[in-house]
Structure 1
Amino acid sequence: MTAGWSIVLLRLLRALISSEPVYPAVRLPLALSQTGAILEVVHALSGLVRASAATTLLQVSSRLMLVWGVLDLVPEVRLAPTVTSMVLAWSLTEIPRYLYFSVAAATTQIPPGLTWLRYSTFIPLYPLGAGSEAATLYAALPYIEAARPLSVYMPNRVNFAFDYYYMCVLVLVNYLPGLPYMFAHMLRQRKKYVVSPAEKLVKAQ
């Protein structure tokens, strides 16, 4: 996963430098890397890791929806600037996070700088990423409303109806309470794992 997100970042930067469209350059490694995050939900649900299954599911599902339920379904929004900022925020967050996991799995001596990166990059990047997600979804709504992809209408054999457009609206509205909830959760995690020199001194005494 560290390698996958590194490829996403390198392709994104190369596209920006060469003034090429970003999404076509990152599409495959982005889809593979983000879809691979489903295993994080499985690991949390199974107890293999101590992460909260609810918060993990919330974050992973929202990103999967953006990758497969918006970018894959709505070509009209792929060149939006918010897609670039979204993928940039994701990759800059995930590279140190997965690198931290890799080092933690191999040794108990995690470099303090890596711990700081893992629990600090979200401070500027999470609002950028989540804001870009919401803006991208908002930009896709008119096209989803017109095409109604993945929607099911009655009558049918199972008497089931589903309107993808309204689900997207609901997801967009949920960003309002979801962003501060997730940000507060990550701040609590940072306070737990990132200890200042003064706090270390107090604990040593």
Structure 2
Amino acid sequence: MSLTRVYLFTYNALAFTLWATSTTYAALLLTQQTPLPTIFNKIYNPYLLTAQSLAILEILHSLLGLVRAPVMTTLMQVASRLLLVWGIMYPFGDHGAAWGGSKIVGGFGGEAQLGDYAFLGCLGAWGVTECIRYGFFALQVGGVGVPGWWTWLRYNTFYVLYPLGISSECTMVVKALKPAAELHPAFWWFLVVVLGIYVPGSYILYTHMIAQRRKVLRKQKS
């Protein structure tokens, strides 16, 4: 393989491993009836934070032409995820207590609140989606060949997982409005603008995935 293919295979395999670890660990904690606030504190750092932050490289991949993904679509998707893990979960989770804002997720021994359920929704939707996506790309770039059932998962599961992820993300942003205002009014306004962008942005990303699915189906039929 060329150096570019080796790099892309390594990147996708690493991302798959990180997402598989965080998702499997969270599922294990759920089966053990672990309280949701505790799950957040165990999963968020370093697992989820590392896995999601790594996606910054995908913007560079698109800009350099290493992958065929559109720059704007990639930027929108990565930016929304980074907002959640760094702009919401970090300052308003248990790890961000030093910021002085109210917690909307996390807190050892506390009762689960809406933010904890929204976090679980994000983690579930993101985790399953990214395990499928990065595994798909790793197999594809590695020249191993992608099984038909994995291709089906890649281009069909988003119909359910994307709405779950978006609704969970929006819930976390809404829950963060009050503590954001406690930190600074500008932060509150920023999140309000973000919520206004979410509707058209979600439509663009959703229809992009539907278009990608149609292209794949046409190739399979031809």
- Please indicate the TM-score interval, normalised by the length of the shorter structure: 0.7 to 0.9
Match of 1:123 among 159, 164, 175: 159
Q: TM-score, normalised by structure 1?
A: 0.86
Match of 1:10 among 20, 24, 29: 24
Q: 2:7: which partner in 1?
A: none
Contact kept in structure 2, 1:96 and 1:118, CA below 8 Å = yes
Q: 2:99: which partner in 1?
A: none
Q: 2:191: which partner in 1?
A: 168
- Structure 1 residue 108 displacement after superposition: 6.5
> How many residue pairs get matched?
186
* Partner deviation per Cα, 1:135-165 (whole Å, 9 max, x = no partner): 01100110011122xx7xxxxxxxxxxx222
* Rounded Cα–Cα distance in structure 2 between residues aligned with 1:142 and 1:38: 28
Q: 2:80: which partner in 1?
A: 62
Aligned-residue sequence identity (percent) comes to: 34
* Rounded Cα–Cα distance in structure 2 between residues aligned with 1:108 and 1:99: 11
Contact kept in structure 2, 1:115 and 1:193, CA below 8 Å = no
* Rounded Cα–Cα distance in structure 2 between residues aligned with 1:177 and 1:90: 20
Alignment of 1:33-44 (within 5 A): 33-44=51-62
Q: 1:186: which partner in 2?
A: 209
- Structure 1 residue 110 displacement after superposition: 2.2
2:41 maps to a residue whose letter is: P
- Structure 1 residue 193 displacement after superposition: 1.2
* Rounded Cα–Cα distance in structure 1 between residues aligned with 2:92 and 2:20: 26
Unaligned runs of 5+ in 2: 1-14, 94-102, 107-115
Q: 2:10: which partner in 1?
A: none
Higher RCO (CA-CA < 8 Å; seq separation 6+): 2
Match of 2:145 among 103, 109, 118: 109
76-85 vs 49-58, greater mean Cα deviation: 76-85
* Rounded Cα–Cα distance in structure 2 between residues aligned with 1:109 and 1:89: 25
* Rounded Cα–Cα distance in structure 1 between residues aligned with 2:29 and 2:119: 13
Post-superposition, which runs of at least 4 consecutive aligned residues in structure 1 deviate over 4 A?
A: none
Q: 2:68: which partner in 1?
A: 50
Q: TM-score, normalised by structure 2?
A: 0.80
Q: 2:40: which partner in 1?
A: 23
SS of corresponding position for 1:26: helix
* Rounded Cα–Cα distance in structure 1 between residues aligned with 2:146 and 2:29: 33
- Structure 1 residue 19 displacement after superposition: 2.4
SS of corresponding position for 1:73: helix
Unaligned runs of 5+ in 1: 152-162
- Structure 1 residue 109 displacement after superposition: 3.0
RMSD: 1.6
Contact kept in structure 2, 1:6 and 1:91, CA below 8 Å = yes
* Rounded Cα–Cα distance in structure 1 between residues aligned with 2:213 and 2:194: 27
73-82 vs 46-55, greater mean Cα deviation: 73-82
**Greater radius of gyration (CA):** 1
Q: 2:109: which partner in 1?
A: none
* Rounded Cα–Cα distance in structure 2 between residues aligned with 1:127 and 1:179: 9
1:109 maps to a residue whose letter is: G
* Rounded Cα–Cα distance in structure 2 between residues aligned with 1:18 and 1:133: 25
Q: 2:98: which partner in 1?
A: none
